[in-house]
Every structure is written in C-alpha cells, then in structure tokens.
Structure 1
C-alpha cells in the first residue's frame, strides 16, 4: 500500500471533522483521501458497540465503479473487510436484477458487506424504494461530485441524506472533484456556494504549490 502524501493526510483530518468536498487536480490522489477516511470509519465501526453501519462509494459509470472498486480494495487496511460493487449489470444469486431487489436482498448485503462501490442511480433507487435506509450508512463518498446539480442521481442522494430528521443518523459526506464547476456558466464562487449548500459540506481547495511539492513525477492511475 502506498503511503499518503502530507496534503492527503491534511485533507483526511479535515474530513474526519466535517462534511468536505475535496478539490484536487486530476491525478493528485483524490481517491487516496477517500480510502483513508473509509478505513477510519471501518475501524470506528469495529470498535463500536452500536448497530453496524456501512460505507458507500458512488462512482458515475460502470467503468468507474470497477476502477474505484479495485483501487479501494487494494487500499483497505484489513483484508477481512468485505467490499462489493453494484451497477446496472448486477444480479443476485437467483438471477434477479438489482432494480428488483427487495429489502431482504439488501439486508443480506448489509450483513455481509462493509463497503459498497456503486453508481449513484443504484443508491438513489434503493433509497426511493426504502430498501436501504440513510441511518445504515456511516460514510458516503461521492466521486465527481460536481454532478450534484439539478435532478441527477447524485443530487437526489444528497437530498435524501439531508432530509434524515435525526442529524446523528446522517452519514459523513465526502465529495471528490477536480473542479466544483460543472459548466461554463456562472462563477467559481457561485459553483462552490451551490455545492456547499447541496451537500451540506465545505469545499476545500488547496494551493497548487502545496500539492506540487509532493506530487510524484509519475501520476497515479486512479484519481
């Protein structure tokens, strides 16, 4: 497992304390920050005597789900942690498509799994059909979180998370993006404000020089 850079550790410490949107250039190791936080919450869950809570990592496409699944699995701190991936190509052992899974199917996943890597649409649909509950999650990571806009699955997931009446039952939120802006319209400041409001998070943009001091000559294969 590769050692994290100082700026990644700095962002990790911030994310432990509050909902955070991490803005880093492509190739600077955004997902490494996420794995640090994932391991932190898995370790907390192991020590807790309360009910089990799991982690979701949301990636935009099937290809990104596969890529991020492999990266996160490689960086889990304990080989006993169970990580699974879920996309529109997922079926259960009885051949039932994931869109038609019932609460009992997801309960089995909840019992057996620690980390779910999935498309935002899968989690949104599970919330919509009440086969998964917000309170079951300790942490939700949203990759490419500049898509938290309009009526996207990412936005609908955030609406569901923040509508949970008990703040104590809401999961920690970590957003990852190379840029808060999703279009050429509007200012960067407007995009940051909108993202902070929609995700109930603080956007953190590190100075370029802080990153370039440590960035390797060969960029990571995964953001």
Structure 2
C-alpha cells in the first residue's frame, strides 16, 4: 500500500513520521538483541522499563538505545545488528539483521496530503508495525541460532550495532565460505519512505551447539567439585 506524500514543507508530518520510525527502530533492535543475548546471565547488561508500544510488551534496553544515538539524529541510517557466537577465542558471525528506513520514489504528481492526513496514516502504520514485530518475534525462534540462545548459560552469544548496507552481510558469509540463507519481511510504506527488515543467517549451527554443550558439562563438573570440597571441609 502506497501513501501519498505530503508537501516537503510539511515538517510537522515528517517529524511525527520519524518519531514513529525511531521507536520502531528501537523496538526492532531490542527485540532482536533480547532474542539472542541472555540478559539474566549477564549482570552488567541491565534492562529498563517495560512499555507496550506497538502492543509489544518487552523490556526497554537502555544500553541498546544509548548505542543508537546516531539513529536518533538520522533515522535513515542503515542499521545492522550482528549476532556472534564467542568461544575458544573465536568470534563467529551467526546472523546479520538489517533494519532500514529509506525514502521511496514517489511520482511528482502524487496527491499531496496535510499533516492531519499523515497522522491518520500513521495510526494504520503503527498497526502494521505491530504485526511485523510479532512476525519477527516468531521468526527468530525458528532460526538455528535460537537453540544456542536457549542453551547459552553462561551466555556465549553477543551482538553489535552498527551502520552497514544490507548486502554487506551476504559478502561476510561468502568470505567465510559457509552456507547462509536470507529472508526479507514485507516492507511497510509510510508517507516518507519504506520500513524494511531483513536477515542473513548461518544455516548450520550444530558445531557451536556441541561446543556449548561441552562447556556446560565442564561447568557442571566444576560446580560439583566445588560442592564436594566445601562438603568435605564442613565435615572435618
């Protein structure tokens, strides 16, 4: 669905649109990060308030929002969220998520609307964003890296936020010579551009699952040993 763009002098309409876009970028980033990083296992990664914006009740992650200061200044910066597996001195890229807001080509004779028209359109756009975020939530739990997240204690997954074009992810996986797949959600049209979410992800994460299970087994052995030592000391 394509919305008619208001006059460029309609700064109020553009400002309101960018406010919605920024909150979408925040929510998408927080959803992706919290679906991969075990915050409960990382005391230093503190979560903030819960606000059900776009009817999605997830924690606000202040450190994520702080890292997104550049997007607060310019929502059209391409956002890349990299998910890594870290272990044995390695840092391996598992997923790269691309969240972008880019101006769409609108015919010069398009119908021009008022700021009030933009506000009405944004109500419908917020509903579409709500559906997209829920689809993203479900999709992330079907990917190979989700098993690593579920079993990751202590956490062996990390993330990085940066500006990068979406096509860079494919080249990164090609350089590693690993099998990867991609997926793009249907874009959401706004009066000033398109919201897009896409991912490129590693198809095979079994080797990391095995290493993670070994690390967990060693941790259990260490805990058992400590318990036995303490038990023996108390009975001396």
TM (normalized to structure 2)? Answer: 0.21
User: Who wins on radius of gyration, i.e. which is larger?
Assistant: 2
The structure that is strand-richer by fraction is 2
* Structure possessing the higher relative contact order (Cα contacts under 8 Å, 6 or more residues apart): 1
